[in-house]
Amino acid sequence: MVTKVEPRSYEEALSWLREHGFDLIEAPGTQGRVFLKKYSVSAAIQKDGDDGVKIFAYPGYLIGSEISKLINRGYQQFLKTAKTEVPATADHLKALQQFTEELKEGLGLPVLYNESLGTVSESYHYDRIKDRDKPTAERPKRPWEKAGAVTAVAAKKGRA
C-alpha cells in the first residue's frame, strides 16, 4: 500500500508543530531556522527554497543544553555530545522515536519502515567493520591479524 505524503510549507509546518505541543525557538542570528523541543529531545528545521522546509539538525536527546547524537556501537547505543557520552536508556530511545515520528508528520515527510520499528542511529560504529571502506594496504592491522602474524613467524622458526 503506497501512500503519497503531502509536504507542508514552512509556515504550515510551524503552525502544526505549535498546535501539537512543540516548543519553537528562533535560532539567533539567522532567518528561517527554528529549534524545536519536546520530550527532552530537540532538532532544528529551516526554510528550504521559497516555501519548503527541511531538517537542519537531526533529532537528538538533550544532555544539558546540547543536542546529542545517537550512535550505535553494536552492543549498545549511546548519546554522544562534544563533552560526554552516556548509554542510551529505553526512555531516551522512546522519546527520540516519538519526537522523530511527530516531527516528520508535522513536516509532511515520509516515515520509512525501518524507522517505524525503533530508533535509528545517525551513525554505526562496529569495531570489526571500521576502516573497511579503505583499500587493504591502508587498513590498520586488527589485533587478531597481528597475533596471526606472530604465530606464523613462530611456526616458521620451529620448522627450521
Q: Give the start-to-end residue ranges of the domains of the chain.
A: 10-159
State whether the Cα torsion 90-83-100-16 is positive or negative. Answer: positive
Highest average pLDDT, of 6-10, 102-106, 125-129, 151-155, comes from: 102-106
What per-residue confidence (pLDDT) applies to 129? Answer: 66
Give this prediction's pTM. Answer: 0.66
pLDDT at 1: 44
Q: What's the whole-number mean pLDDT along residues 67-72?
A: 86
- Mean pLDDT value across residues 124-141: 72
Is the pLDDT at 151 greater than 50? The verdict is yes
Residue 70 has pLDDT above 70, yes or no: yes
